[in-house]
Amino acid sequence: MPDANADPLARQAQDAADRAASFSNVEVDNEHETNRLRDVAGLLTHVWGSLPSGAPLPPDVLRAITHAGCNVTVAHDVDGRLLGTAVAIVSPDGVSAYSLITAVAPDVSDRGIGFALKLHQRAWALERGFTTMNWTFDPLVSRNARFNLTKLGAHCDEYLPDFYGPMADEINAGASDRLAAVWPLTEQRSVACSEGQPPPVDLPDYTPDHVSATGPDGHPFVVDVAGARWCRVPVDIVVLRRRNPDEASAWRARVGEVFMEAFGSGHRATGVTRSGWYRLTTETERGNP
Question: Does residue 51 carry a pLDDT above 70?
Answer: no
CATH superfamily of 4-130: Gcn5-related N-acetyltransferase (GNAT) (3.40.630.30)
For residues 254-273, give the mean pLDDT: 97
Give 176-189 pLDDT, tens digit per residue. 899 999 999 999 99
What average pLDDT does range 125-133 have in this prediction?
A: 96
> Is 287's pLDDT higher than 80?
no
What pLDDT is stored for residue 174 in this prediction? 64
Predicted pLDDT of residue 3: 53
Q: pTM value?
A: 0.93
Name the residue ranges covered by the structural domains of the chain.
Answer: 4-130, 138-176+186-289
Report the first-to-last Cα separation within the chain, whole angstroms. 40
What pLDDT, on a 0 to 100 scale, did the predictor assign at position 288? 47
61-118 pLDDT, tens digit per residue, is 999 999 999 999 999 999 999 999 999 999 998 899 999 999 999 999 999 999 999 9
Q: What one-character-per-residue DSSP string does the chain give?
A: ---GGGSHHHHHHHHHHHHHHHHHT-EEEE---HHHHHHHHHHHHHHH--BTTBSSS-HHHHHHHHHTT-EEEEEE-TT--EEEEEEEEE-TTSSEEEEEEEEE-GGGTTSSHHHHHHHHHHHHHHHTT--EEEEEE-TT-HHHHHIIIIIS--EEEEEETTTT-SB-STTT-B---EEEEEEETTSHHHHHHHTT-PPP--PPP--GGGEEEE-TTSSEEEEEETTEEEEE--S-HHHHHHH-HHHHHHHHHHHHHHHHHHHHTT-EEEEE-TTSEEEEE-HHHHT--
